[in-house]
Amino acid sequence: MLSGKHILLIVGGGIAAYKALDLIRRLRERGAEVTPVLTRAGGEFVTPLSVSALAGRKVFSDLWDLTDEAEMGHIQLSRAADLVVVAPCTADLMAKMAGGHADDLASTLLMATDKRVLIAPAMNVRMWEHPATRRNLATLTGDGVLAVGPNAGDMACGEFGPGRMAEPLEIVAAIDAALDGGPLAGRHVLVTSGPTHEPIDPVRYIANRSSGAQGTALARALADLGARVTFVTGPASVPPPQGVDVVAVESAAEMLAAVEGALPADAAVFAAAVADWRVAGASAQKIKKGAGGLPRLELAENPDILATVAQRTEGRPRLVVGFAAETETVVAHATAKRARKGCDWIVANDVSPGTGIMGGAENAVTLITADGAEDWPRASKAEVAARLAARIAEALG
């Protein structure tokens, strides 16, 4: 299964570093090539000699080793692998990754890589439960980093609880899954996200408060499951995820054209907050204050992107999912919207100001399908995205 796969293995400075030796052995037994990187603290727990003997190749540890840069630069080292694995991933390494530090070889490789990263955290239970580690984990999973473990159990420090590194064979299974392609491999999923900007004149526009965070998290979660994702985004305030095809648009009309241009797709999820109206006959020049009195803005209805795609007779994606941002009688409105638009599912959320959902980090949604309404507990947008992506994978079979 892992034959010919190339793993860049970063070994951090924790007691569980000894298990990294067994991990190297297991990976090589399965045909993988392992390039080991030992942090300075990692080298306090296992020797470079034992790591290189098991890996059958040189251990890298110093960013400033000019011979290594001549032979293989740190950028190349970070890109040559199929997957980057950090085991054990200490609290310190998690903090560095979440903060974007690049002050030694391991952290620089983690910043420079264009490959998936899998971490196997290992630390004392208090360190694992510390709010800083919780925050760092949320940031990392939001960034698309995969994690295996930790497990609960007796710890080397004498305490009990979660913090023990996953066993080498569990890490091997997670590596297999990460390289396998996932349940959406070979599927094309279209995701729209962000607000639209409807021009009034060349410098002014009508917009809404959507940040694009939920659509971005969803695109990332679908890509994590192996889908080829086309991400059609309005001017969002969060950056698009890596590993998806980004099509940037401004207005609803441009978004519809981009969506139609991206079809066919196996599934389409319309998470964008598309403006219902645009300014009819937007001015080609900046409207001047003064003589003519107050400008009169006449509105025209925008195309309904969700309904247009859901009601296609030819080339309709197998699964069409709309989002409904409501401020009152959420489920009733969203259920009616599902019937009116002809889509398969509606993900409804209450975006009243008191919920903090629009532009916030969390979401509380109700999934409306032909079988009825399902309330999901309030969770981070990344968790909601992961759950929805898993449901989409299940529906596409």
Of 9-17, 59-67, 71-79, 226-234, the segment contacting ligand FMN by CB under 6 A is 9-17
Per-residue binding letters, 95-134, with ligand FMN (x by CB under 6 A) = ---------------------------xx---x-------
Nearest residue (CB) to ligand FMN, 62 versus 92: 92
Nearest distance from C-beta of residue 383 to ligand FMN, angstroms: 24
Give residue 195's Cα distance to chain centre: 19
Determine if the peptide bond prior to 202 is cis (ω within 30°): no
Q: Tokens 């030796």 label which residue? A: 21
Note whether 41 binds ligand FMN by CB under 6 A. Answer: yes
One of 5, 7, 9, 12 touching ligand FMN (CB under 6 A): 12
User: Would you say 27 and 7 are in contact if contact means Cβ atoms under 8 Å apart?
Assistant: yes
Helix (H) or strand (E) run with residue 2 in it:
none
Quote the least distance from Cβ 135 to ligand FMN, whole Å: 15
Minimal distance in Å, beta carbon 90 to ligand FMN? 3
Shortest reach from residue 86's CB to ligand FMN, in Å: 9
What tokens does 86 get? Answer: 């950090």
Residue 91 near ligand FMN by CB under 6 A? yes
- What is the per-residue burial (b if ≥16 Cβ within 10 Å, else e) of 8-41? bbbbbbbbbbebbbebbebbbeeebbbbbbbbeb
How far is CA 366 from each of CA 330, 346, 384, rounded to the nearest angstrom?
Answer: 9, 8, 11
Q: How far is CA 199 from the centre of its chain?
A: 31
CA distance 316 to 1: 36
Given the complex with ligand FMN, which of 152 and 339 has the nearer CB atom?
152
Please, what is the minimum distance in Å from the beta carbon of residue 128 to ligand FMN?
Answer: 8
Cα angle 100, 101, 107; round to 5: 105
Between 123 and 189, name the residue whose CB sits nearer to ligand FMN: 123
Nearest to ligand FMN of 18, 277 (CB atom): 18
- Amino acid type, 174: A
Which C-beta is closer to ligand FMN: that of 39 or that of 230? 39
Strands 345-350 and 277-279: unpaired
Query: Which residues form the catalytic set?
Result: 157
Q: Which of 78, 90, 136, 193 binds ligand FMN (CB under 6 A)?
A: 90
Residues that bind ligand FMN (CB under 6 A): 12-16, 39, 41-42, 90-93, 122-123, 127
